[in-house]
Amino acid sequence: MTYTYSFSTGLTRCAVEELLTDVIRLSGVLGHFMVLMAYDRESGKLVHVGRVNDFPGKYLIGFIVPENEEIDVVKGYLEGPEIGQDYIEYRLVVNDHLGHIRFTMDSDEDTLLTVDVELPQELKVTFKDIDDMEEHIIKDHFFPYMEKFRNRSIYQTPFFTLKLNGKLKDVIEKVMSMGGKKLLKTRINENVVKIFIDDGKVDFCLIYGKKVAMGNEALKEVLETDNVIDATVYSIPVEEMVMIMI
C-alpha cells in the first residue's frame, strides 16, 4: 500500500530538485537507507562510490532495520533518479520485491511537494517494530529535514541536477521534457555552449570561446551539429537566468 504526503516546502523548485537528485544526501535524509556501492557503467561492476567514473543510476543499498537496541541491515538496490517534467522517482529492489519513492513538484516558487512511498514487501515484513514504515520515513525523517531548510537563501543559486550524454538534439529534448528552468552547458569544437530552457522551450543560446554568438544565430549553429556531447544540466531560479549568461 502506497503512503502519500503533501506539504509546502517554502523552497524554489531548483532547491528541491537539487536535494532530490543527490542520491547520497537523500538516502541519509530518509534515515533508513545507506548507499554502500554504485554500479559503474565504464567497468560494468559495483564499486565504491568515490571510484565511479560514470554513474548509470544503480546503487547497492543497505536498508537499516532497528529492532529494540539491535540493528539489522537488509541488502537491496536503489535505481534512479528518473526525472520527468514534474516528478523525480526512484525504484527500490529487495530480492524480487519492488517498491518506489516518487516526488511530484508543483510550481517553481514555494514548491508544493507530494511524496509517494511504497517499500518492497520484504522490507515491510522486516520492519516489525514500526507499524507504518512508509509514514515513519516521511514524517519522522524527510519532512523534518525539509522544514529545517525552509526559505534559506543558500538555495537561491543554480544547482547541479544531472549529467547527460548523447546527440545534442536528443539531450535538448530530454532537458525540455523535465520542465522548469534549466541551464544546459557543454563544449562543441573548443567552444562553450550554454542553452537556457524555460518550461519546455529554448529561451536563449550562447556560444563563447574561439567564436562568440548568441540568440537565434547561436541556436541555429548548435542545432546543426550531429556531435555526441557530454552535457551538465543545472536547475536555476528565474531571477538567476540573466546573471549566469556571462
Q: What is the pLDDT of residue 208?
A: 73
Enter the C-alpha cell of residue 245: 549568461
Enter the C-alpha cell of residue 133: 514504515
Q: What is the pLDDT of residue 99?
A: 96
Q: What is the pLDDT of residue 106?
A: 84
For the stretch 202-226, pLDDT in tens is 888 878 777 777 778 788 888 888 8
How far from 128 is each of 53, 96, 99, 133, 225, CA to CA, in Å? 38, 20, 18, 9, 57
Q: What is the pLDDT of residue 42?
A: 78
Residue from 152, 135, 168 nearest 18 by CA: 152
How far from 230 is each of 27, 61, 233, CA to CA, in Å? 27, 28, 10
Q: How far apart are CA 220 and CA 222, in angstroms?
A: 6
Q: Are 227 and 166 in contact (CB under 8 A)?
A: no
CATH 3.90.470.10 fits 3-154, yes or no: no
Domain with CATH 3.30.530.20 in the chain: 3-154
110 backbone dihedrals φ, ψ, rounded to 5°: 50, 55
- What is the share, in percent, of the chain residues with pLDDT greater than 90? 23
Enter the C-alpha cell of residue 113: 511537494
Q: What is the pLDDT of residue 245?
A: 42
DSSP string spanning 32-43? SEEEEEEEETTT
Q: How far apart are CA 195 and CA 241, in angstroms?
A: 11
Give the pLDDT of the chain (246 residues) as one tens digit per residue.
Answer: 789 999 988 887 777 887 888 888 899 899 899 999 999 877 888 888 878 776 668 999 999 887 777 788 899 999 988 887 788 999 999 998 999 999 999 866 678 999 999 999 888 777 666 668 899 999 999 999 888 876 554 444 556 668 888 898 899 998 888 877 888 888 888 788 888 888 888 888 878 777 777 778 788 888 888 888 888 888 775 444 444 443
